[in-house]
Amino acid sequence: MDHMERALCLARLALGHTSPNPAVGAVIVKNGLVISEGHTQPPGSAHAEIAALERAGERARGATIYVSLEPCSHFGRTPPCARAIIAAGIAEVHLAMIDPNPSVSGRGRDELEEAGIKTHVGEREEEARELNEAYIKFITTGWPFVSAKFAMSLDGKIATRSGDSKWITGEQARGYVHSLRQSADAIMVGVNTVIADDPRLTARGQGAEGSLKEPMRVIVDSQGRIPVTAQVLREPGKTLVAAARPLEPAKAGALVEAGAEVLELPAKDGLVDLEELLRALGKREITSVLVEGGGTLLGSLFDQGLVDKVVAFIAPVVIG
Identify the three-state secondary structure at position 244: strand
Give dist(CA 320, CA 308) in Å, integer: 30
Q: Is 49 a catalytic residue?
A: yes
59 burial (CB, 10 Å; 0-12 / 13-18 / 19+) is: middle
**Structural element, H or E, at residue 139:** helix 133-141
Q: What are phi and psi of 125, to 5 degrees?
A: -60, -40
Question: Would you write out the chain's pLDDT as a tens digit for each of its 320 residues?
Answer: 899 999 999 999 999 889 999 999 999 999 999 999 999 998 888 899 999 999 999 999 999 999 999 998 877 777 789 999 999 999 999 999 999 998 888 999 999 999 999 999 999 999 999 999 999 999 999 999 999 998 887 777 775 444 445 555 567 777 778 888 989 999 999 999 999 989 889 886 444 444 457 899 999 999 999 999 999 999 999 999 999 999 999 999 999 999 999 999 999 988 999 999 999 999 999 999 999 988 999 999 999 999 999 998 887 777 66
pTM over 0.85: yes
- Would you state the pLDDT for residue 151? 82
Residues with Cβ within 8 Å of residue 264, at least 6 apart in sequence: 243, 244, 245, 246, 247, 252
What is the distance in angstroms between the CA of the first residue and the CA of the last residue of the chain?
47
> Nearest-CA neighbor of 23 among 127, 117, 108?
127
**Structural element, H or E, at residue 162:** none
> Nearest-CA neighbor of 79 among 60, 116, 62, 54?
54
Cα→Cα distances 74→11, 28, 32, 155, 298, Å: 21, 22, 31, 53, 39
Give dist(CA 223, CA 252) in Å, integer: 10
Q: Which of 37, 49, 70, 123 is catalytic?
A: 49
> How many Å separate Cα 290 from the centre of its chain?
9
